[in-house]
Structure 1
Amino acid sequence: MALLEVNELSVHFGEEKAPFKAVDRISYTVNEGEVLGIVGESGSGKSVSSLAIMGLIDYPGRVSANALNFDGHDLLKLSPKEKREIVGADVSMIFQDAMTSLNPSYTVGFQIMEALKVHQGGSKKWRKERAIELLTMVGIPDPVSRLEVYPHQLSGGMSQRVMIAMAIACNPKLLIADEPTTALDVTIQAQIIDLLLELQRKENMALILITHDLALVAESAHRIIVMYAGQVVEEGKAEQIFNAPLHPYTEALLKALPEFAEGKSRLQSLSGVVPGKYDRPQGCLLNPRCPYATDKCRSIEPEMQIINGRQVKCHFPLNEFSAP
């Protein structure tokens, strides 16, 4: 049974008569203990879809879905009190920029202990001991003294470790990591990803890893979802995505990686940008940028189709007959 089931999730912004679809009817599942990678360039709807799951889309944003089920509960039908008992405890999220996510007015220890107080209660002594334990788990040296420091006294990597400690404080069943290595040095990026995967295996929690970098999820994710302009355009096992991409956009993302340059002097890129509210094309949303686009692509929106257990939203899937 899936731990998380997202069915036809959409997020709209702006006027009801002419809304902008930041997320457009996406569906996917996450199983217990699974690592799911969600990949796409900026503006593809990755972060907004996760904020919708967490209930963090404020007006004028509007969230709709056939179902948004987590561990047997439809999150869209819960009362605010019922939802607070789940979100933040059973479902946690690490946001993009740890330096701005932590409150600069309070110490690290206070913020971790406050999260524990809200979701688990317990004595002040227990919360302090648990905070020290959490900082130790995420590899922060001298955790006792670190309880008394303020966020501005920490490096970017240390701030991200504190955010991870807060996110796992209540032993969540699902952790959503939204671009967890943004603005970090390359060596620190690897350490943060390794830490997340180590905690995921140790705690047997599900992990959604959101990134614009396919290489980041190459060896860490069990399955990968590729998003473009608010839509899911491909979904499959990680090795399937890398060995035989079905969607032209996935192929373009792979060709932009140094590992797939095949000795070429320049990395390949996809011309153009993700369409916004006022320049969304008819038919397939990728067609102005797609080297394989036909008249059908420019006039008719493709349906999601299943090929050998994989999903792809394309009229003419690549590698269709060689796809594993």
Structure 2
Amino acid sequence: MALLQIKNLTVEFGSEKKPFRAVDQVCLEIEKGEVLGIVGESGSGKSVTAKALMGLIDWPGRVVAEKLEFDGQDLQEMSDKQRRKITGRDIAMIFQEPMTSLNPCFTTGFQIAEALKIHEGGSRSERRMRSLELLEQVGIPDPSARLKAFPHQLSGGMSQRIMIAMAIACNPRLLIADEPTTALDVTIQAQIIDLLLNLQKQRQMALILITHDLALVAEAAHRIVVMYAGQVVETGPVPEIFETPRHPYTAALLEALPERSIGATRLKTIPGVVPGQFDRPTGCLLNPRCEFATERCRRDIPLLQTDADGRQVRCHTPLDREGKPQP
């Protein structure tokens, strides 16, 4: 049985008469010890999906799912108190923007110890020792001094390491990293990703890596979920997705990689933007930006279909191995 099972997860905002679906019937699974990459442009619903799993969607947001289970436990049937025992302990999340995710009013040591106090208990001295161990594990020099530091006294890379220490404090079985390298220097980005992957292997925890960086997913993930405008448009093993993408959006994202534009005078781009609440097209949500769009695409909503090899694609005319739409 999969560690996490999500079926037809929907997140809506706004009034019930005119709701906006930020996440539209998303289905995904992750196995124990697996690294799953979720990719897509800004506005694709990646972060909202993660926050819905963590129970962090406040009113007027509404979360509905046919199935939302962690290790066989139905998260929707739990009380808030029961769910908080799981989120933060068995399921942990590293949020975007490390410089603003930490509370500026408290020292880093207090914030790490607070997570331990809520989920693990123990004496103050035990929590301090555990905090020092965590800072050493994430590669922070002079951990005793860093425990006394406030967030504004830390660099971006150091802040992200603190966030990772807080996330792994209670030995989670599933770690969600939401754009973990945002606003960090390139060299620091590589260090943070290496740290996350080493921790994942050492602890054999499942890792959901949310990013818009396809090159990162290619190196780190086992499987990939491609999202667009709140919908899953393609899923499959990373090597197969990169070699033979079946959805035009996935193919366009791959074509936009600098590695695939060697010798070209301009990088390839995807025209237009992800549709918002008031400019959503009829039919396939990608059709205004898709070079293969047909009248059927502009009229009918495509369903997420599972192919014989287990890959999933949401397209009326998925691409073949040559990148041409199939009739």
Normalized against structure 2, the TM-score is what?
A: 0.97
2:317 corresponds to which letter in structure 1? Answer: F
1:146 corresponds to which letter in structure 2? Answer: R
2:311 match = 310
1:119 corresponds to which letter in structure 2? Answer: H
Distance 2:303 2:54 in 1: 28
Distance 1:71 1:184 in 2: 34
Deviation track 1:18-61 (CA, whole Å, cap 9, x = no partner) reads: 10000000101010000000000000000000000000000110
How far residue 182 of structure 1 moved from its aligned partner, in angstroms, is 0.3
2:319 corresponds to which letter in structure 1? Answer: L
Deviation track 1:219-245 (CA, whole Å, cap 9, x = no partner) reads: 100000000000000000000111110
Deviation track 1:162-200 (CA, whole Å, cap 9, x = no partner) reads: 000000000000000000000000110011011000000
2:242 match = 242
1:185 match = 185
1:123-272 equivalences in 2 (<5 Å)? 123-272=123-272
1:93 match = 93
Runs (4 or more) in structure 1 with deviation over 6 Å come to none
Distance 2:323 2:151 in 1: 51
Distance 1:226 1:72 in 2: 25
How far residue 101 of structure 1 moved from its aligned partner, in angstroms, is 1.0
1:44 match = 44
Distance 1:86 1:273 in 2: 37
Deviation track 1:100-134 (CA, whole Å, cap 9, x = no partner) reads: 11111111111101110000001111110100000
1:60-75 equivalences in 2 (<5 Å)? 60-75=60-75
1:26 corresponds to which letter in structure 2? Answer: V
What 5-or-longer segments of structure 2 have no aligned partner? none
Distance 2:48 2:258 in 1: 28
More deviation, 234-243/260-269: 260-269
1:210 corresponds to which letter in structure 2? Answer: I
Deviation track 1:192-212 (CA, whole Å, cap 9, x = no partner) reads: 011000000000000000001
Aligned CA RMSD, in angstroms, stands at 1.2
Distance 2:111 2:204 in 1: 25
Q: Give the paired residue count.
A: 323
Distance 1:144 1:272 in 2: 50
1:312 is paired with a residue of what secondary structure?
strand
1:312 corresponds to which letter in structure 2? Answer: V
2:117 corresponds to which letter in structure 1? Answer: K
Distance 1:101 1:273 in 2: 27
2:26 match = 26
Distance 1:107 1:276 in 2: 39
Normalized against structure 1, the TM-score is what?
A: 0.98
1:3-18 equivalences in 2 (<5 Å)? 3-18=3-18
How far residue 321 of structure 1 moved from its aligned partner, in angstroms, is 8.5
Distance 1:305 1:148 in 2: 53
Distance 2:205 2:133 in 1: 18
What 5-or-longer segments of structure 1 have no aligned partner? none
How far residue 263 of structure 1 moved from its aligned partner, in angstroms, is 2.5
More deviation, 106-115/155-164: 106-115
1:278 corresponds to which letter in structure 2? Answer: F
1:271-310 equivalences in 2 (<5 Å)? 271-307=271-307, 308-310=309-311
2:76 is paired with a residue of what secondary structure?
coil
1:90 corresponds to which letter in structure 2? Answer: D
1:319 corresponds to which letter in structure 2? Answer: D
Distance 2:320 2:117 in 1: 52
Distance 1:300 1:24 in 2: 16
